[in-house]
Structures are given as structure tokens and as C-alpha cells.
Amino acid sequence: MQAPDLPLLWSVSRPSLHPDGTRAVVAVTRPDFVSDDYVGQLWMVGLAAAGTTAAAPQRLTRGHRDTAPRFSPDGRLLAFLRAGPGTPAQLFVVSAAGGEPLQVTHAPLGVGEFRWNPASTQLGFLARVPEPGRYGTVPGLDSGSEPPRRVTTRRFRSNGVGYVIDRRTHVFLVAVPDVWGEPTPEPAPAVEDAAPAGAPADRTLALGFPEARQLSSGDYEHAGLSFSPDGTRVLTISARHARHDEDLRSELVEILTDPASDGPRLPERVVLDASANLGIDCVVWAPDASIVLLATDVGPDGRDFVGRGTALYRAVLPGAVLADTVLADTVLADTGVPGAVTLTRLTDPETSSFDAVAGLSVTADGSVLAHRQQRGTVQLVQFSPNGTTRSITDRELVVTGHDVQGDVVVFGYEDALTRGDLAVAALAAGQAPAGQATVGQATVGQATVGQATVGPAAVGPAARPRRLTDFSLPLREAGVAPARDLVVTSRDGYPVHGWLLTPSGPGPHPVLLTIHGGPFAQYTVGLLDEAQILVDAGYAVVMCNPRGSAGYGQDHGRSIRHRLGTIDETDVLDFLAGALTADPSLDAGRLGIMGGSYGGFLTAWIIARDHRFAASIVERGFLDPEAFMGTSDIGDFFGQEYVGIDPERMRAQSPQAHVAQVRTPTLLIHSSQDLRCPQAQSERYYAALKRGGVPAELVIFPGENHELTRSGNPRHRLQRFTIVLEWWARFLPTDRNPRGGSAEFAA
């Protein structure tokens, strides 16, 4: 794989499985150099009956970027988000049988997450509400002419968004229009339609969009939503307690969907308050009226987040009548929140942590499906009402999202040779519905990929997932290097897990040590574009999950709290030494080091004390904890929890404080809109390197934020790879990446 192959990185969304279990819809998105954007459409994927062959996946829509499909509970409609070039995403619905999609919303800043109500008649959604006079609400008034902002909160910006204090996210409800009805033509202009002097014209109703009703209120953020089984209430995640601007605790808020129909009851009320000490990431109102959460215990002070595992919880509202199918047999701890809910923890955060981004689901019989992070993988796990736990996937996979109907579950996944595809499995033991191949063991250029096996916590035979799509075939045909799994014993006896990728040919190969961000994140078995492109250029790539990473238990993740640059440093360096020993084709005399965010921190930290590297790349780094505190969007808590607040301890863990010891040529890469690790982190470090006479360059990408390498503009991502390869050609040339090339800043 080479940098121009980025458009072959097709990724899949969380799939939506039709209620009858016969077909699924998934959004497939890819980078596009022509539009310099991410484009994608919805695809229909059939699930054939056992013994038959499924039809090939078919493109269902042709929008610029169609994402987040969800079938209605009655199966008649499909809702999704559609964004045009330079325009925010809006809600659309279309008949499940096909036809022309109908736009439902006209939110000024677009629509985020959404859900169907149980009756399939309404859609709940999240959208930012702009303060009047800002963000284009007044035609012709640009951002430079807006009134000043008065900031009184600690957190007022967010990376990838910008200011949030004047565009809070709220919960809305909108009626679903008749997709089979008569279309509404756009009315011709008329004098009587003119807005009052000085007021913007509201053409939402005139254009035929149904009126959306805002359900939530107040100067608060809201995230996630789930309807009650009877559709009369919605749950959302917010933070409304007195110290909500000082800690990381959140609350569950219940909102009536029709306040007028429920007597004197409050239209909004907190049903799980901050006394539970939880940072809630995901909520699902189960069919039995219980509530299932993914949340992190952040301690009594509400800030102790470092390395904490995300656990499953079950909450029961006062007066709720539950079915017999409950998860009581899996309870590990039980805590009560007086006057609110009964709260039970279902999994042990010391040993298991779950991917909140991938979400969770609850089946009709009470089973919970969630995504467990485990040793460089993300596994889909089923928690049954009888207390048993089974891994639906138990191979080298990263499951990215799923949907379930009855005993059938469809999920998206990545593996070493797959960037994004769909597979199907049966929750009950036995054969999965028919597909193209079995999932697990990927083989270049072939459809067959292996099978799932039973994990140590499983009860009974595991399902046999089968692959339904092969969107990654063109990428495999372009060439994908396999990764070698490796465990190295660190100097204190601790096992460090990671991977080694080597170029074809006998060697000796120059070696690049790459370090991931987080630090509570993990390299996975999923295909990583950066590693593939570096290997194609002739470099061996060494990457591991040192202590501080996710996926290896809470002790592993918390071990570097207030100790950055200690055992994490020795873990990555000892893993490098182990890789050099394990593969004689690696050239121990030609080494480079690179990393981003926390990986940028550790790269800068190491080159101040280890001078054997020919060059380094420090990208969007956490380099100066003291300056970070007042400038980052997470600066009021991240640095203090990781490095402490004592000035001497902070400086002892600061790459900026040790920059005078650096002799390694260093390339710094940053983005102008990075609010996570602000640009000044790199600028100060770069200036100090220059003062010290160290060869250094600083590259700044305009308009990008902290996510450049993952979701930056496609042309910028291509240009970044050109710059990275040119830097390595200068200091570690190879036959495939020779010295003398120059970075081309045009795609």
C-alpha cells in the first residue's frame, strides 16, 4: 500500500439489520482526492438462508456522504444522515423498499446522533443550537463580525468543533413525514412572506420540512439518546450538577416526549445523579424497562479517569416492573443511589474495558451485546440473562459496530488485511446465516478468512461468523504487509505485547519505532495505513502497547499515572530491542522514532535521553504540561491527572523542560485548529530545538485539528505522508525511498 492508495480505505458504519433479519444496510465511506472530502453511500447487504448464496451487496443511495442508517422498528422505513459538499448532515428517510429519500430536518448546524421511537412515527435526534447572531444565523454576518464571547466556564471549546458555549447540543423530536405522500414544491417568493425588519427568514416550514421540537433545555451539553419501551420518555446523558464544569461525572436525564399528556410530572428530571460517580458514555433503555449503561467510575472527586476501565451497568428506575430475564447472575458489585435508581455493575473494570464508541445493544430476551477491548482486539461479547458470557468473535478482529434482530447479529470489523467489512453470526450456538466466507484468519487475495473459536469465558460452542462483504479486496490487491505478533519481556519482567511489520526482501531494513497516542488507547490487529505505507517504502515498523495502554487490564492502564516517561519508556525501548533480536533482517544501526499526541510526548521524551536514533518525528505532541493546562480543551483535568500538579513533578515529566538534551534531528507536525494539543506545544519545542542547534523543521497544516491522521482532508493526509517519507529519506534512505526526493505539497 502506498500513500496514493488512501481512497482504497473503505470503512463501514454500524450496520442496521432489518427487523425480519433478511438484509442489512451499512454506510461505506472512503477518502476522495477529487472532492478532497469523505464520500460514501448506503449499501444493501442480503442475508441468505442456510444452504443458499447471498446476493452481492448493492449500492442503495448516491448521496455525497450518506451515513448512520437505521431501519424503523416496523421495518417500513430507513432513516440516515446525508451531508453535501460543505453542508452539515441532515436527517433523511426513505422507504425500506427503495425510492427517493425525503429530507426531514433543516438544522442550522446539522444533525448528530438519532433514534427511532418504538412506534416508528417519530425520530429523536441531537443537534447543536447556535446562539442568535452566530454561525451563519444572520445572512451576510461572518464570524469576524460577530459580537465578543464572554467566557465564564473552564471548558468552552472542543477539538473538532470549536466553541461550544454558544452552540449547545440539545435533544429534539420530529414527526416522520409520509414518504409516499405528495411532494411539496418550493414556493415562489411573495411579498407577504417577508420577515420582520432585521429578522432572518425561516423557510423550514415553507420548504416542507416538519417542525422539530426541542425537548431538552438549559445551558448544558447532551449526548446519546434512547426511547423508553412505550415511547413516552427519552433518556439522554448530561451534566447538570453544581460541579459539572469541574469534574467528569455525568447524569442520566429523563425527558417526556409529550409533556402535556403526563399530568404534573416534570418534563425533564435527573434519574441518575452525579453521586454515582460515573462518566457515562452510552445508554440503552432495554425492552424490559431496565437501563443498560457503559460508564467509567471516576471516583469521589469525579476526575480520576486515568486508565479506568469502562464497565457495563444496569439501572432500574423506581416503580419499574421488570421481566424475569435479568442479568442478576453476572453482578460483580452493587451500589444504590437513594431516591433515584437501583444501580448494579455487571462487569469488572479491573479486568475488562468496553469500547463506548462502538456502543451496545439489548435483545428482546435480555441479552446484552457489547465490544470488549482485549489485547489489541475488540471482541463482540454476549452477556446472557442466565449469567453466561460468550465471545461471539474470538479471533484477531476489531469489531467496530453491530446490530441484532432475534438470534442474528451483523457486525462491522477490521483485521490485519481488512479496513472495513460486514459479517454475520448467530447468537444461539451453531451455524451463522449463509455468507461468503468465515471470519477470522485473513488470506491475501482470497475470500476465505477463518473461523471464530470459544474464548475462556465462553459457555458452549461459539457462533461461526461469516463474512458478508469484501470491500477491502482492492486494498489487498494493492498490497498489504502482514504483521507478526510479538511479546517481549521488559527489563523488570513485564510482558509487552506488540507487532512487527517487515518489508519484502532480505534486508537489512532500517527500523521505525512508532508510538500510539492516548495514552489509554491501543494499537490493534486492524490494518493501519501508516504502518503499511512505511513498510512499502522499505522500513520495518515496530509498534507495541506499553504500560499505560488500554486492552490489558486496569492495572496496566493506570501504572503510569504521575509517572509518565518511566516504565512506558522502558517498555517501548525493550520491545524495540526484542524485535531487533527476533528478526535478523532488521538493521539495529539505522533506527528512527515517531509518534503522535501522547506518542509525540514519548518520542520527545526518549530523544532527550537516548541518542541512537537517526531522526525523529514528533506530531501534535503533549510536550509542555504547564502550558497545556491553560490552552487545551482538556487542559483543566488531563495533565493534572497524568503528571500531577506539583510544579517540580510536572517539569520532571515535561519534554519541554528536557529539550536542551536533544541532539536528534526532529520534524514536528501540527495542525492549526488542534484544540487538544494546541499548536503552541510544537512551536515552543521547535524554537528550543533551533536555539540548541538541533536540525529541526515544523510543518503546520491549515484548517486541520487533532484528527489529521485519521479524518483530515484527504489531500492533506496525502501531503503528510509525502512529508514523512521525505524526512525519512533524508536520514534513513532506502532503495524504495531514496535520498534526494522533495516533499510535494500538492495532491
Q: What is the pLDDT of residues 235-270, one digit of tens each?
A: 999 999 999 999 999 999 999 999 776 556 679 999
The whole-number pLDDT of residue 183 equals 83
Tens digit of each residue's pLDDT (9 = 90 or more) over 93-130:
999 999 999 999 999 999 999 999 999 999 999 999 99
Going through 193-265 in order, the beta strands assigned E by DSSP cover 213-214, 222-227, 233-238, 251-256
For residues 683 and 136, which has the higher predicted lDDT (pLDDT)? 683
Q: The cell 451453531 sits on which residue? A: 430
Mean pLDDT of 155-166: 97
Whether 228 has a pLDDT exceeding 50, the answer reads yes
662 belongs to a structural domain: yes
Total number of domains in the chain? 1
Q: Say whether pLDDT at 609 is over 80.
A: yes
Q: Which three cell numbers stand for residue 155?
A: 471548558
Q: CA-based angle 255:222:226, to the nearest 5?
A: 50
Q: Mind listing the pLDDT tens digit for each residue in 697-741?
A: 999 999 999 999 999 999 999 999 999 999 999 999 999 999 985
Residue 48 has a pLDDT of 73
Is 198 a domain residue? no
Grid cell 402535556 — which residue?
A: 260
In angstroms, what CA-CA distances link 450 with 255, 460, 721?
A: 46, 19, 33
Residue 324 pLDDT level (bands cut at 50, 70, 90) = very low
122 located within any domain: no
For residue 678, being part of any structural domain is answered with: yes
Residue 513 lies in a domain: yes
Q: Would 607 be classed as within a structural domain?
A: yes
Q: Using DSSP, state whether 604 is helix, strand or coil.
A: helix
- Is 610 part of a structural domain of the chain? yes
296 contacts: CB under 8 Å, gap ≥ 6: 278, 279, 281, 305, 308, 309, 310, 311, 349
Q: What is the DSSP letter of 672?
A: T
Please check whether residue 118 is in contact with residue 229, taking contact to mean a CB–CB distance below 8 angstroms: yes
CA–CA gap between residue 586 and residue 588 (Å, rounded): 6
pLDDT digits (tens, 9 = 90+) for 169-182: 999 999 999 999 88
Query: Would 460 be classed as within a structural domain?
Result: no
Residue 435 confidence (pLDDT) above 70: no
What is the reported pTM? Answer: 0.92
Worst-scoring range by mean pLDDT, 280-294, 463-477, 566-580?
A: 463-477
Non-local CB neighbours of 190 within 8 Å, separated by 6+ positions: none
Give the pLDDT band (50/70/90) at residue 450.
Answer: very low
Encoded amino acid at 206, one letter: A
**pLDDT on residue 189:** 80
**Weakest mean pLDDT among 243-252, 349-358, 421-430, 705-714:** 421-430
Distance of CA 652 to the CA centre of its chain: 32
For residue 316, give the H/E element and its range.
strand 311-316
Task: Note down the domain range covering 540.
Answer: 481-731
Residue 289: predicted pLDDT:
93
Please tell me whether residue 274 adopts helix, strand or coil conformation. helix
* Residue 453 in this model has a pLDDT that exceeds 50: no
Confidence of residue 461 (pLDDT cuts 50, 70, 90): very low
The answer to whether residues 65 and 82 touch, using CB atoms and an 8 Å cutoff, is: yes
The answer to whether the CB of 289 falls within 8 A of the CB of 314 is no
The pLDDT score that the predictor gives to residue 51 is 62
CATH number at residue 563: 3.40.50.1820
Q: How far apart are CA 680 and CA 673, in angstroms?
A: 11
Dump pLDDT digits (tens) for 36-62.
999 999 999 999 765 666 679 999 999
